[in-house]
Structure 1
Amino acid sequence: MEGCCTISISKKQSCLFPTLLRLSTKEVVAIWDVVSAYVLRQMKLDKGVLVPGLGTFAVVHEQINGTEEVYVVRRPVFQLDMDMSCLRELVFPTVMIPGDIKIMPLDYCWLSQTNSLPPDMVRGCVEETILLYSFKLRTRQRPAFTFENIGILSCQDNVLCMQFHCSCIAGLASQDIWVALLLTRLWVPGSGVNNGVTTAQGMQAAQAHMFPRFQLAVSEAFSTQHTKVAEKHRVRTGEQEHPGKFSLPMLPNQRPGKRQQEPGPKPPSR
């Protein structure tokens, strides 16, 4: 598949990605295309969608006072919501979503019916892809995360932000489309988008591949730093409600039935 890359993980890390190791690149991309379709569908209904561990998509209404008339602009926004430990050295715009906008969770049953995969597999694919993406950001790698017909979450000059397709903005704005385009950060078509469809051509060296076009490969390397990120990600996304989903390796002195003893006071020198 065009733009696909191979990402190596260790054998101990493989327990964090049981679903991705079972899915092909084509299946992963298909799941995320359905996620994008669901997000865009809710945005057209003036509802927001929370993608756990990544951020929230929504549509805001803004009133712009022109020289001769008042414009009411309807445009998409994205509020980043990732673990701050993954965003070191990165800057991201502050986006405020009005409290009267209804935020919807991902409907895994609807997503499952659309692509004919079990809901648990769809959920696992979404959660594990976001976890893998956070790993890449933490290790100072800057892949671009694509959302079909919506936009691209990209990092340029250490600024991480969502850049929306012109077609997405035009489809959401019922009037004053040009004003909405001027107020929204756009993805330049020459940077890898052709008629709203993302490709790998024209990407910078730092964005040599684009999520979710990847294939996992198990290697011997092991990074405890990644495991710590996984632990934080599991807590943030409510992983505790689904025990057994991710099983982190335990340290030798943390085996079940054993308790690490704290060192007692030193005896007097006499």
Structure 2
Amino acid sequence: MTNLGALITSVELCSSVTFPTLKKLSVKDMLMGHELADLELDVSFPCFPDVVTIWSSVSKHVRQQLLKEEAVSVTGLGTFYIKKCHSFENGKMLTFQRPVFSLSRTVAQIRELQRASVPVPGEIKKVPVSYKKIHLDVPYSEEVVQHCMQETLDFFYFILKKKEDTDFILKDVGTLAIRGREVKMTFCEDFLLSLNKSTDMVEKLLTKKWVISDKEVTLFPSRFGRVHQFPQFEIRIVPRRVSLTDIETCTEVGSGLSSTGTKGNVSD
């Protein structure tokens, strides 16, 4: 298992950014006198339960606000809202709801992405993630919650600046997958069901690609064959995407081997 403290220290050595709160939270059993078993919050992630506990509460807050039909902003990551849609099929008008995500300007600028701004409709109330509400849900001060979130995002930005690929998981909401300059926000099928109350409608949303299931994230390839997963601070193996450079290299090597008579079966 990765040592979060050591990981943070190694990043600090080659960066001007520091992570004092993450360092404190990485200390084993530092739960301010509380045990994880005493928490009502479901913490099922295997690594760094203290950091993940806070982000699980963030995810819980995002989900709750969306189910109230409010737009919710996670500063530095992006904004979510629910769009009511209609589709005319087989002589029937279908009404459904699908989640919409707008990537933050900060993340878009780091990866030089063409950020398509998705304005929140004026009739939808927009609220930021409430540090106070999260603080009431976990055994940490409001200040620790705020600093943990910001430092996690700072670490996330550092990885993005290194041109690495990432998955940022909001538990029971979805996963923001970044591969190179491609960005996909995927959503949990259970969350889609909570919005639409119909498994048939959820299936239609996914079949027509109106929404992408977070189950597909494991199939999204990376040119590195790995992604950095947040807020777990883990590295996960994924299918490797063959880049143009790889193809050119293979062609050059193959050409060289062919010219020496060693392409294919090797003979003395």
The verdict on a shared fold, with TM-score over 0.5 as the criterion, is: yes
Q: How does 1:121-160 map to 2 (within 5 A)?
A: 121-156=144-179, 158-160=181-183
Percent identity, aligned pairs only, is: 27
- Report the alpha carbon displacement of residue 44 of structure 1 after superposing the two structures with TM: 0.7
- The answer (yes or no) to whether the contact 2:164–2:228 under 8 Å persists in 1 is no
- Report the alpha carbon displacement of residue 15 of structure 1 after superposing the two structures with TM: 5.7
Match of 2:23? 21
Could you list the per-position Cα deviations for residues 208-261 of structure 1 after superposition, in whole angstroms to 9, with x for gaps in the alignment? 43111128xxxxxxxxxxxxxxxxxxxxxxxxxxxxxxxxxxxxxxxxxxxxxx
Shifted more, 65-74 versus 180-189: the winner is 180-189
Q: How many residue pairs get matched?
A: 205
The change in CA–CA distance for 1:109 and 1:86 in structure 2 (over 3 A counts) is: same
Q: 1:177 aligns with which of 169, 194, 202?
A: 202
Q: 1:86 aligns with which of 94, 100, 110?
A: 110
Could you list the per-position Cα deviations for residues 149-189 of structure 1 after superposition, in whole angstroms to 9, with x for gaps in the alignment? 11111123631121112111111113533333331122235
Confirm whether residue 74 of structure 1 aligns to residue 76 of structure 2: no
- Report the alpha carbon displacement of residue 12 of structure 1 after superposing the two structures with TM: 7.9
Q: 2:215 aligns with which of 188, 205, 221?
A: 188
**Larger helix fraction of residues:** 2
Between the aligned partners of 2:228 and 2:7, the Cα distance in structure 1 is 9
Q: 1:32 aligns with which of 55, 58, 67?
A: 55
- Aligned to 1:35, the other structure's residue is in SS state helix
- The answer (yes or no) to whether the contact 1:92–1:159 under 8 Å persists in 2 is no
Shifted more, 104-113 versus 77-86: the winner is 77-86
TM-score of the two chains, using structure 1 as the length reference: 0.67
The change in CA–CA distance for 1:186 and 1:91 in structure 2 (over 3 A counts) is: farther
- The answer (yes or no) to whether the contact 2:177–2:217 under 8 Å persists in 1 is no
Could you list the per-position Cα deviations for residues 105-157 of structure 1 after superposition, in whole angstroms to 9, with x for gaps in the alignment? 11111111111110000000111111211121122011211111111111236
Between the aligned partners of 1:168 and 1:73, the Cα distance in structure 2 is 13
Between the aligned partners of 1:12 and 1:184, the Cα distance in structure 2 is 39
- Report the alpha carbon displacement of residue 68 of structure 1 after superposing the two structures with TM: 1.0
Q: How does 1:163-174 map to 2 (within 5 A)?
A: 163-174=186-197
Q: How does 1:230-269 map to 2 (within 5 A)?
A: none
TM-score of the two chains, using structure 2 as the length reference: 0.67
The change in CA–CA distance for 1:146 and 1:72 in structure 2 (over 3 A counts) is: same
What value does the CA root-mean-square deviation take over the aligned residues?
Answer: 2.8
Q: 2:226 aligns with which of 203, 207, 214?
A: 207
Between the aligned partners of 1:206 and 1:143, the Cα distance in structure 2 is 11
Shifted more, 102-111 versus 8-17: the winner is 8-17
Consecutive unaligned residues of structure 1, counting only runs of 5 or more, are 193-201, 216-270
Runs of 4+ aligned residues of structure 1 deviating over 4 Å after TM superposition are 1-5, 11-15, 90-94, 202-206
